Amino acid sequence: MVFYMAVTPGEVTTSLIILVIVFVFVRVLRSKGKKQVSLPGPWSFPIVGNLLQLGDHPYLTFMEMRKKYGDVFLIKLGMVPVVVVNGMEMVKQVLLKDGEHFGGRPNMHAFSSLAEGKSFSFSVNFGDSWKLHKKIASNALRTFSKAEAKSSTCSCLLEEHVVEEVSELVKVLAELTSKNGSFDPRSAVTCAVANVVCALCFGKRYDHGDEEFLKIVKTNDDILKASRAANPADFIPCFRYLPLRIINGPRVFYQALNQFIAQHVQDHLTTYDKNHMRDITDALIHTCHSKYAATKTATLNDDEIIGTVNDLFGAGFETVSTCLYWSFLYLICYPEIQAKIQEEIDENIGLKSPRFEDRKILPYTEAFINEIFRHASFIPFTIPHCTTADTTLNGCFIPRKTCTFINMYQVNHDETIWDDPALFRPERFLNEKKELNKSLVDKVLIFGMGIRKCLGEDVARNEVFIFITTVLQQLKLKKCRGAELDLTPIYGLAMKPKPYQLQAEPRSPGISCC
């Protein structure tokens, strides 16, 4: 349990002044003789740096700064120098060509409690141990998310769980319309996606009204809200010692999530049977306790297994649910696009339950999903990177341990790559033969690239596809009469659309909705 000290405003102000003075003095002493970043950038204020200049949508602010300072420039967030990277070529340089030099993570206070510091996604350390950690996680995820796993002894397959949950979601959406006339789909979508992740990680699904389940769904929401604005403690370290809720709030939410996941992993450690792989957690235990142990190769301990499950749980949860929430909004904003997707589904799938393999025969649907990723760009930045050694970028020196932001939103709206990037137009991803243009798909940045690329890209793409095609096969989504829809995002770790209402009417598969 975390307790917050009762302090008066005067005490807080005095503490702040003392801490800031001490911190500035220490930083000045430490900076003497150190090489500095040699990049252009805006003038910054003492102590707070450029924090006050970021506005409500920092990715847009950086796009404006890019016009003056170029693809790569320097800002200061508090006392911390941060390199901001825009432009596809510079992003490739950082994430692919010089990926090892930019593969670290800065020491972010906001994420220090995630998985009790055992998270490989947020791990500050970057080396052989991290690479092994990622390899083990990747193998475990692949075991339960690929179609070929059907021939194995595994009983928990991603495709089956997604099909089950989207069928339940269709019923929930239809019932909400019948009961309320219109509704906000966010809760129903989030619960459905969370159930897929729970089934994949723990071999268990929850009823949408289950109190334990709803508590963890709300905890994830609280984490996002607490991380929405820049946490002062990330960039002005002396703030970490102040008893303020804005500083310590995220820690409380992370501890609740950690406890939920740790309990499930501990249960699996107790009931583990090497002859019966139930889910990803069992796969991780099997890999770590058998294969690597037998060869005496370095492996993961139980705490690191918990951290890995935590990473997979969080990644599979938030990206997919946010994408679907955006997708439903775009579908009611552009009913003509919805009708085209339904026509394609009716002609190529008909009454059959959609499957992963159907992605190759539904190019327009795939184009729509990629245009959601590009246009909404709901994950505007990669998780912050950090240099692991002294290096150069765009001809400028960057010292070791320099925090780096990669602006994926800018790349997804770059006029040198995309025609009329402000327009939502799925057709841009189709060639003259109405086939998916894979080279253009590769230019969409939402999962990152290189050694720190999100492990769950294939899982997320498959899952989003099944959810969208199944919902549109059986339902017609409509906006409320007279409603004004707004595509402006609410800034955060994963940007959500503003709350909206829709109606879901049953339709007859095989008959296009016009």
Dihedral of alpha carbons 456, 462, 465, 466, sign: negative
H helix and E strand count, the chain: 17, 10
Q: What angle do CA 114, 120, 123 make, to 5 degrees?
A: 70
SS3 state of residue 277: coil
Tell me phi and psi for residue 353, to 5 degrees.
-65, 125
Pairing of strands 502-506, 475-479: antiparallel
What pLDDT is recorded for position 113?
54
201 is in an annotated binding site: no
* Helix 363-376 × helix 457-474 angle, to 10°: 120
450 vs 23, 95, 453, 454, CA distance in Å? 36, 5, 5, 9
301 vs 140, 160, 288, 391, CA distance in Å? 15, 30, 8, 33
What pLDDT is recorded for position 26?
52
Domains and CATH numbers, the chain: 9-506 (1.10.630.10)
361 vs 355, 399, 433, 468, CA distance in Å? 11, 49, 13, 15
What pLDDT is recorded for position 460?
93
- The answer to whether 200 and 155 are in contact (CB under 8 A) is no
One pLDDT digit (tens) per residue for the chain, 514 residues? 333 333 344 544 555 555 555 555 555 445 445 567 789 999 999 888 998 899 999 999 999 999 999 999 999 998 889 999 999 999 999 999 999 999 998 877 666 555 455 566 666 667 777 787 788 888 888 877 765 444 444 443 789 999 999 999 999 999 999 999 999 999 899 999 999 988 888 888 888 778 777 777 777 666 665 555 456 667 776 666 666 555 565 666 677 778 888 888 999 989 998 888 888 898 888 877 765 555 555 567 777 788 888 888 877 788 899 999 999 999 999 999 999 999 999 999 998 999 999 999 999 999 999 999 999 999 999 989 999 999 999 999 999 999 999 999 999 999 999 999 999 999 999 999 999 999 999 999 999 999 999 888 999 999 999 999 999 999 999 999 988 999 999 988 789 999 999 999 998 755 444 4
Dihedral of alpha carbons 22, 23, 29, 32, sign: negative
d(CA 284, CA 261): 14
What pLDDT is recorded for position 333?
97
407 vs 60, 171, 391, CA distance in Å? 9, 39, 20
